[in-house]
Amino acid sequence: MQKRSNLGWLRTRKSADEVVQDVAQTYSRRQKQANKREIIIKNEVQIAGIRKSCRLTRDILDAITPRIRPGITTEQINTWVHELTLANGAIPAPLNYRGYPKSVCTSINEVICHGIPSPDRVLREGDILNVDVTTILNGYYGDSSRMFLIGEVSPEARKLVEVTRECLELGIAQVKPGNRLGDIGYAIQKHAESHGYSVVRAFVGHGTGLYFHEAPDILHYGVPHTGVELVPGMVFTIEPMINIGTYEVRTLSDGWTAVTADGSLSAQWEHTVLVTGDGVEVLTA
Ligand code: MF3
Ligand code: CO
Ligand code: CO
| 50 within domain boundaries | yes
Residue 81: C-alpha distances to residues 74, 106, 139, 275 (Å): 11, 11, 18, 28
Q: What is the dihedral of CA 163, 164, 170, 172, to 10 degrees?
A: -150
Count of Cβ atoms closer than 10 Å to residue 21 Cβ: 15
What is the CB < 6 Å shell around ligand 1?
94, 97-98, 100, 105, 114, 132, 134, 143, 237, 239, 270
| 77 within domain boundaries | yes
| Interior angle at CA 247, CA 259 and CA 204, nearest 5 | 85
Count CA atoms within 13 Å of residue 188 on its CB side. Answer: 34
Predicted pLDDT of residue 2:
32
Q: How many domains does the chain have?
A: 1
| 3-state helix/strand/coil string of 151-181 | CCCCHHHHHHHHHHHHHHHHHHHCCCCCCEH
| 58 within domain boundaries | yes
Q: What spacing in Å lies between the alpha carbon of 172 and ligand 2's midpoint?
A: 14
Q: Which atom of ligand 1 is nearest to the CA of 132?
A: 1
The closest of 42, 131, 128, 124 to 78, measured between CA atoms, is 131
Which residue from 78, 143, 241 has its CB within 8 A of the most atoms of ligand 1, so it is best to mutate? Answer: 143
CA-CA distance, 130 to 128, in Å (whole number)?
Answer: 7
The closest of 109, 107, 105 to 264, measured between CA atoms, is 109
The closest of 77, 137, 178 to 284, measured between CA atoms, is 137
Share of the chain above pLDDT 70, in %: 88
The parent domain of residue 137 ranges over: 14-282
Predicted pLDDT of residue 3:
38
Predicted pLDDT of residue 22:
62
The closest of 224, 189, 190 to 204, measured between CA atoms, is 189
* Res 30 pLDDT > 80: no
CATH number of the structural domain spanning residue 58: 3.90.230.10
* 91 band by pLDDT with thresholds 50, 70 and 90: very high
Start-to-end CA distance of the chain, whole Å, equals 26
Q: Stretch 175-182: mean pLDDT, rounded?
A: 98
Mean pLDDT of the residues in the chain: 92
Predicted pLDDT of residue 8:
35
